[in-house]
Amino acid sequence: MNVHTPDARGAFAVPTSMRYNAVENYIRNTTFDRPTLVLDTDIVAQHYQQLKAGLGNANIHYAVKANPTREIIETLVAQGSHFDAASRGEIELCLSLGAQPSDISFGNTVKRASDIAFAYHAGITLFAADAEEELEKLAEHAPKSEVYIRLIVDASEADWPLSRKFGCARDKALSLLGYARDLGLKPVGFSFHVGSQTRRSAMWTVTLDQIAQVWTDAHAAGFELDLLNIGGGFPAFYGEEIEGPTAYAAGVMKLVHARFGNVPRIMAEPGRGLVAEAGMIAAEVLLVSKKSNNDTHRWVYLDIGKFSGLAETMDEAIRYQFVTDRDHEDTGACILAGPSCDSADVLYELRPVQLPLGLKSGDKIMIRNCGAYTSSYSSVGFNGFPPLAVEVI
Ligand SMILES: *Cc1c(COP(=O)(O)O)cnc(C)c1O
Q: In terms of Cα–Cα distance, which of 379, 325, 282 is closest to 38?
A: 282
Taking phi over 0 as left and psi of -120 to 50 as alpha, with beta for the rest, 305 belongs to beta
Domains annotated for the chain, with CATH where assigned, are 16-38+276-392 (2.40.37.10), 42-275 (3.20.20.10)
Q: Which of 84, 109, 229, 252 to probe ligand 1 with, by most ligand atoms within 8 A of CB?
A: 84
Q: Is 128 in the pocket of ligand 1 (CB under 6 A)?
A: no
Cα–Cα distance, 167 to 190 (Å, whole number): 10
Count Cβ atoms below 10 Å from residue 41 Cβ, excluding itself: 24
**165, 169, 174, 179: CA torsion to nearest 10:** -40
Residue with CA closest to ligand 1 atom 10: 232
Q: Which of 104, 109, 196 to probe ligand 1 with, by most ligand atoms within 8 A of CB?
A: 196
For the chain, how many helices (H) and strands (E)? 10, 16
Tell me the pTM: 0.93
| Residues annotated as part of the active site | 341
Q: Is 272 in the pocket of ligand 1 (CB under 6 A)?
A: yes
CA of 84 to the centre of ligand 1 (A): 9
Q: Is 65 in the pocket of ligand 1 (CB under 6 A)?
A: yes
Q: Which amino acid is at 126?
A: L
Q: In terms of Cα–Cα distance, which of 58, 57, 56, 61 is closest to 77?
A: 61
Q: In terms of Cα–Cα distance, which of 49, 191, 13, 175 is closest to 106?
A: 191
Q: Is 233 in the pocket of ligand 1 (CB under 6 A)?
A: yes
Cα–Cα distance, 62 to 86 (Å, whole number): 11
Q: Which amino acid is at 288?
A: V
Going residue by residue through the chain, which has 393 residues, state the pLDDT in tens, using 9 for 90 and above: 233 333 333 333 344 555 558 999 999 999 999 999 999 999 999 999 999 999 999 999 999 999 999 999 999 999 999 999 999 999 999 999 999 999 999 999 999 999 999 999 999 999 999 999 999 999 999 999 999 999 998 766 777 776 678 899 988 999 999 999 999 999 999 999 999 999 999 999 999 999 999 999 999 999 999 999 999 999 999 999 999 999 999 999 999 999 999 999 999 999 999 999 999 999 999 999 999 998 888 999 999 999 999 999 999 989 999 999 999 999 999 999 999 999 999 999 999 999 999 999 999 999 999 999 999 999 888 998 889 999 999
CA of 148 to the centre of ligand 1 (A): 16
By CB atoms closer than 10 A (0-12, 13-18, 19+), residue 224 is: exposed
Residue with CA closest to ligand 1 atom 3: 232
